[in-house]
Amino acid sequence: MARISVTCMDGARLEFDDAALAGTGAMKDVYFAPDKSYVIGFLRQKPDVNSMERLQNLVTAYRTGIMDGPGGDYWAKMFCWPTHLIEHKGKVGIALPAYEKHFFFQHGSKNADFLGIKGREKEGKWFASANHQQRSLDARERGTWINYLQVSIKIARAIRRMHAAGLAHSDLSYKNVLIDPAGGNACIIDVDSLVVPRRFPPDVVGTPDFIAPEVMATLRIPVGDPRRKLPCRETDQHALAILIYMYLLYRHPLRGGKIHDQDPQRDEELAMGERALFIENPTDWSNRPNLSDIRPGYFPFADPAKIPYNVCGPYLKQLFDQAFITGLHDPEQRPTADDWERALTKTVDLVQPCSNPECDQKWYVFDNSTRPKCPFCNSQFKGLLPILNLYSSRAGGRYLPENHRIMVYSDQYLYPWHVNRSIVPNEQTSNDDKRPVGYFLFHGGTWWFRNQRIPAIRSIKSGRIYSPDDLVPILDDEQILLDPSPGGRLIHVQLTNK
């Protein structure tokens, strides 16, 4: 073992252990620092002038713009961003922070870690199929369905910030995203592959399953030909939609049963390229999965008839339609990362805990039907359910509907962003705004809201004012004003007995 000291291009001094190989990939070999707080990855091929300039910009201007800007501490956890550029013995290296501990398997797979993955990185692929996630992993690693909504929010938020900086990932996939479902955490890795469209071209075209159709359809066209489509923001948007779909439904949205060509390679190019077709397209069923070809471990999620994509709720269904129908072959129509972040955040307000303690997913989106049930285990919902329809104030003092509702469950919290629409849950949310303002409870046959921090809640019907520490009854057809200031919200209650 030899501890080797290197001088970075910016003058910083770093060390690595040449016997402590952290990992190898197609592009680089990665070594741990002696204290394992960071790693140094040496590229196997020396970058050309353009690639060197791109890497220098990533560790300087782009890193400073994101990490030293608003929410910088938040982004430092969301990206494994390169910090230094190094030249050592004719090789170019990049220094990167080490992954946080929760991104390594603590328990691994079932049956005393029969797959031997304990201590390995939580590559997103482990959680993107029913066979891997439910059949192989220890239950303590898997998390619940609401955790995958939280993970998806964080991935969308990180991609939104990256795009705002004028960058594209170029290889966004479950191989380049680490997730920790049990803790609701995510981290974008392989940031050294980021590109600046029309300035710094990509080194790779992407990972199979996530390459956009227009890129796949033009792979055979030489680089430099204007007809060749390269990774950019819109191709990231395609990959992001696939990631979210797979984390919530454990199947691929385009891999169905349709055969386009007898040659496997040509069939793959067509299926993921110019003839790509959503497996749940409502007007063309020709790419529905061939269930007889699917192994038992992938069910029931492999069957869209059993668990259709509308189980994700109305906000996400709309974006899946936009991503995989209208925008599949029209990149400009694809939902943005910001669209996904907002829709996912609203979807969290629609979830209910499953009443079945044996349910693997534990949570589901309440569909507001006459006979609601968990789509994952078919357990019927029973009880009295408050549905809170949100209205917010606009100019002139009018309260207008927002197409946003909250499905109440016991011990559910409300936060400042529920009270006033001008507060947005994101990387800039203050510590005070992360604190709940109250919670719901069911007692004596009635639903109540325990007001903890809202200065004055007013019942529109009775005119009564509820102060902090008061219990506010949640009654059918009640209108409750949470905040009279601009952007403040009013709640209209629907009480249903299922």
Q: What is the pLDDT of residues 90-100, one digit of tens each?
A: 899 999 999 99
Q: What is the C-alpha separation between 468 and 106, in angstroms, rounded?
A: 42
pLDDT number for residue 391: 97
pLDDT of residue 213: 97
Peptide bond connecting 300 to the previous residue in cis, omega within 30 degrees of 0: yes
Give the span between the Cα atoms of 451 and 70, in whole angstroms: 31
Three-state SS annotation for 267-314: HHHHHHCCCCCCCCCCCCCCCCCCHHHCCHHHCCCCCCCCCCHHHHCH
Q: What is the band of 256 on the pLDDT scale with cuts at 50, 70, 90?
A: very high
Torsion of CA 475, 477, 483, 488, to 10 degrees: 140
- Average model confidence (pLDDT) for the chain? 93
Q: What is the C-alpha separation between 118 and 108, in angstroms, rounded?
A: 4
Q: What is the 3-state secondary structure (H, E, C) of the chain?
A: CCEEEEEECCCCEEEEECCCEEEECCCEEEEECCCCCEEEEEECCCCCHHHHHHHHHHHHHHHHHHHCCCCHHHHHHHECCCCEEEEECCEEEEEEECCCHHHECCCCEHHHHCCCCCCCECEHHHHCCHHHHHHHECHHHHCCHHHHHHHHHHHHHHHHHHHHCCCECCCCCCCCEEEEHHHCEEEECCHHHCEECCCECCCCCCCCCCCCHHHHHCCCCCCCCCCCCCCCHHHHHHHHHHHHHHHHHCCCCCCCCCCCCCCHHHHHHHHHCCCCCCCCCCCCCCCCCCHHHCCHHHCCCCCCCCCCHHHHCHHHHHHHHHHHHHCCCCHHHCCCHHHHHHHHHHHHCCEEECCCCCCCCCEEECCCCCCCECCCCCCECCCEEEEEEEEEECHHHCEEEEEEEEECCCCCEECHHHHECCCCCCCCCCCCCCCCCEEEEEECCEEEEEECCCCCEEECCCCCEECCCCEEEECCCCEEECCCCCCEEEEEEEEEEC
pLDDT at residue 195 above 90? no
pLDDT band of 200, cuts 50, 70, 90 = low
Question: Token match 């190898």: residue?
Answer: 24
Q: What is the mean pLDDT of residues 253-257?
A: 97
Q: What is the pLDDT of residues 303-315, one digit of tens each?
A: 999 999 999 999 9
Residue 279: the pLDDT is 98
pLDDT of residue 203: 63
Report whether 133 contacts 142 (CB < 8 A). Answer: yes
Mean pLDDT over residues 27-37, rounded?
89
Flag whether the pTM goes above 0.85. yes
Query: Does 18 have pLDDT greater than 90?
Result: no
209 vs 251: CA distance, rounded Å:
11
Asked if pLDDT for residue 497 goes beyond 70, the answer is: yes
Q: Both ends of the chain: CA-CA distance in Å?
A: 67
- pLDDT score at 134: 81
* Mean predicted confidence (pLDDT) in 42-63: 90
Q: What tokens were used for 52?
A: 């060197």
Counting every residue written for the chain, the total comes to 498
Of 329, 464, 347, 356, the C-alpha closest to 403 is 347
Average pLDDT over every residue of 42-59: 89
Whether 448 shows a pLDDT value over 90: the answer reads yes
Q: How large is the average pLDDT for residues 359-375? A: 86
Q: Pick 147 or 69 by higher pLDDT.
A: 147
How many C-beta atoms surround the C-beta of residue 176 within 10 A?
A: 22
